[in-house]
Amino acid sequence: MMTKSSIKNSIIGSMIGVLILFALWFLLYLTVANDYLIPSPIEVIQTSFLNLVTLEFYIHLSSTVIRVIFALIISFTLGVAFAILSHLFKNVENIMLPILSVIRSLPVLAILLIILIFTPRIVAPVIVCVLSLFPIVYSQTLTYLNSIPLKQREMLKLYNIPIKNQIFSVYLKGYLPLLIKESTTLFSFSLKLVVSAEILANVFKSIGGDISNASMYANVTQMFSLTLLVCLIGIIVEFFGKFICFQMEKRLQ
């Protein structure tokens, strides 16, 4: 369970980590002394501020974030649903094991190229993200459900509680704080996946597409700026999720 001190320590630790990374970046910039390889951190920060006051950046960012949200919704819907079925019916879990093994072993780049043959470029990043997220959500949800005390499960059976009520009143209610925490953590991961897929697919009007275009025109500063902003957005969302999870855990006590 998270506490105020753990959240505070996490924020302080993250700030120290960011400062160390920027110091290493600046040192590398001075060592290489080539803006086409390692741009100046100051110029990248200035470019980032310019991006943040540009309407086009937010339009493209919203396009990318919408893909991330769609991928998260699909992944959590399928992952939680199949995890509940696997928890209730052992045969379903046995069927899911080889399927998950195959999905986990799929090479992302190769799958993206195959998907691009059959689907539009704007859809392919979502499918790639879902294939990566679904096994994670399924495994984490099933682990949580299997960790519910045996006595509690026996009591539910003893009093003939309908499966629908078990799912929504017992299982998912206790899983909700963890669900929010995992969804915000996976948001950062999903954002990186979607942006990477957008770069490879060269999706028009997206953050990944902008990075791809910056690469084509050798605009290294813009590439670093957009990458930095993507990382910061993921970190902010993750911390926001941890805070919400902390507040929910306090109320459920």
Q: Categorize the per-residue pLDDT at 224 as very low, low, confident or very high, splitting at 50, 70 and 90.
A: very high
**Range scoring the smallest mean pLDDT among 5-9, 82-86, 95-99, 119-123:** 5-9
Please name the residue ranges forming H helices in 89-206: 90-105, 108-118, 124-146, 150-158, 163-165, 172-201
Contacts of 75 (CB under 8 A, 6+ apart): 129, 130, 133, 134, 136, 137, 186
Token couple for 8: 């505070």
pLDDT exceeds cutoff 80 at 249: no
Compute the distance between CA of residue 103 and CA of residue 130 in angstroms, rounded to an integer: 10
Residue range 227-251: mean pLDDT, rounded: 77
pLDDT exceeds cutoff 80 at 66: yes
Q: Categorize the per-residue pLDDT at 50 as very low, low, confident or very high, splitting at 50, 70 and 90.
A: very high
The answer, as to whether pTM is greater than 0.75, is: yes
Token couple for 114: 């195959």
Amino acid type, 80:
V
Residue 166 pLDDT: 62
pLDDT tens for each residue of 27-41: 998 898 888 888 989
Q: Is 38 helix (H, G, I), strand (E, B) or coil?
A: coil
Q: Helices 220-252 & 41-52, crossing angle to 10 degrees?
A: 70
pLDDT exceeds cutoff 90 at 2: no
Compute the distance between CA of residue 98 and CA of residue 84 in angstroms, rounded to an integer: 18
**Range scoring the smallest mean pLDDT among 21-35, 46-60, 124-138:** 21-35
Residue 188 pLDDT: 86
Compute the distance between CA of residue 15 and CA of residue 7 in angstroms, rounded to an integer: 12
Residue 15 pLDDT: 77
Compute the distance between CA of residue 197 and CA of residue 199 in angstroms, rounded to an integer: 5
Element (H, E) at 81: helix 55-88
pLDDT exceeds cutoff 80 at 135: yes
Residue 8 pLDDT: 65
Residue 52 pLDDT: 93
Compute the distance between CA of residue 144 and CA of residue 182 in angstroms, rounded to an integer: 12
